Amino acid sequence: MRLYLLFSIIILTINFSIGQELYYDSIYKKIDKNTYEYTTITNETLEFDFYRAKDAKGKLPLVIYVHGGGFSMGERDNRGIIYFGKRLAARGYAFASVSYRLTMKDIGLGCDVTADQKRGAIDNAAQDVLQAIKRIVKDAQFEIDPDKIILIGSSAGAETVLQLAFRTKYMDSLDNHKFAGVISMAGAMIDVNDIDFENAIPTQLFHGTGDAYVPYHVAPHHYCGGDDPGFLMLYGAGPIAQRLKGLGTAYFLYSIVGGSHEWSGKPTKFCFIEIVDFIYNDVLYPNILRQTERTISIK
């Protein structure tokens, strides 16, 4: 009887493991997390945390995470990011959460801050994150597939990764390796026309329609007035999705009707399955072109 039970357990275990899909299901249990320095700018050392399953073999897809905080605060290793990184690493991804210059620290990002300062903050962050990506890709110890890099960012981090994904100057400096996909959580672009046939990539967009800081549609950053120094038009998730739709590119628009800017940090927890499904089916293994629009209401 005991032998029969043991045999049954072995068969069930084999069947369960066969049914698991790498990069979709949680496969690995032990995750390594280590911190590395990647550059020093004006006496500030910038670092990234790198996650990888102990038993993962070969060159892995890399998910780059960029935190939010209005370019003035935020951290790469809060509890939510650590949990998110470990969940992705358990599915076979390498995951790196990157620190960058907080250019607007003690300055803020309101309507009294000039539009040029805001553009500069985004550009500084993008340049920093790009340096981290180059370090990870070129260092053999990390074992990364350079053609499978997925960017994900929250709020200011989302603005940063959208800049990286769709501005040609960043693509050129990455040895012409095109990013495989990008995920924006409450982010926006300064010019949606930066997306064209050449650089359009699968894009997932989470955004609340009631976001008071980063517009879901087309509006000034922080809804500043036309005479304010900080007047800067932004294109949120809505127009970005429409641009991708017209270009025939895969996208997933997740609209939260009435949702506030708090949704910049919620998708990694509440929409984790949607994120994994997007990366797996739209970025890594796109059998068909999917242009998905999902709307939920919190009212």
Q: Give 171's pLDDT tier (boundaries 50, 70, 90).
A: low
Q: How far apart are CA 144 and CA 265, in angstroms?
A: 26
| Tens-place pLDDT, residues 250-299 | 999 999 999 999 999 999 999 999 999 999 999 999 999 999 999 999 86
Output the six-digit token pair for 159: 């603005």
* Contact in structure between 28 and 56 (CB atoms under 8 Å): yes
Q: How far apart are CA 194 and CA 124, in angstroms?
A: 18
Residue 266 has a pLDDT of 97
Q: How far apart are CA 151 and CA 165, in angstroms?
A: 8
DSSP string over 178-239: PPSEEEEES--BS-GGG--TTT---EEEEEETT-SSS-SSEEEGGG--TTSTT--EEE-HHH
- For the chain, helix (H) and strand (E) counts, in that order, are 8, 11
Q: pLDDT exceeding 90 applies to what percent of the chain?
A: 87
Strand partners of residue 50: 34, 96
Question: What are the residue ranges of helices labelled H in the chain?
Answer: 2-18, 79-89, 115-138, 156-166, 168-172, 237-247, 267-270, 272-278
Q: Give 14's pLDDT tier (boundaries 50, 70, 90).
A: very low
| Residues contacting 229, CB < 8 A, separation 6+ | 111, 112, 113, 114, 115
Average pLDDT over residues 12-27: 70
Inform me whether the pLDDT recorded for 51 exceeds 60: yes
Inform me whether the pLDDT recorded for 74 exceeds 50: yes
Q: Give 86's pLDDT tier (boundaries 50, 70, 90).
A: very high
Residue 167 has a pLDDT of 86
Q: How far apart are CA 96 and CA 51, in angstroms?
A: 6
Output the six-digit token pair for 214: 């980063």
Inform me whether the pLDDT recorded for 96 exceeds 70: yes
Q: Which domains, and CATH codes, for the chain?
A: 2-297 (3.40.50.1820)
Residue 282 has a pLDDT of 98
| Tens-place pLDDT, residues 113-147 | 999 999 999 999 999 999 999 999 999 999 999 99
* Least confident window among 5-14, 69-78, 156-165, 194-203: 5-14
Annotate 91-113 with b (16+ C-beta within 10 A) or e (fewer). Answer: bbbbbbbbbbbbbbeeeebbbeb
* Contact in structure between 63 and 152 (CB atoms under 8 Å): yes
* Contact in structure between 102 and 74 (CB atoms under 8 Å): yes
Sheet holding 251-257, edge to edge: 31-41, 44-53, 94-98, 60-66, 144-154, 181-185, 203-208, 251-257, 291-297
Average pLDDT over residues 61-78: 97
Inform me whether the pLDDT recorded for 1 exceeds 50: no
Nearest to 161 by CA among 205, 102, 110: 205
Output the six-digit token pair for 83: 């949990």
Integer CA distances (angstroms), 287 to 187, 280, 282, 290, 296, in order: 28, 10, 8, 9, 27
Residue 184 has a pLDDT of 98
Which residue type sits at 36?
Y
Residue 298 has a pLDDT of 83
Q: State pTM to two decimals.
A: 0.92
* Helix, strand, coil tally for the chain in percent (to 5): 35, 25, 40
| Residues contacting 82, CB < 8 A, separation 6+ | 33, 49
Q: Give 244's pLDDT tier (boundaries 50, 70, 90).
A: very high
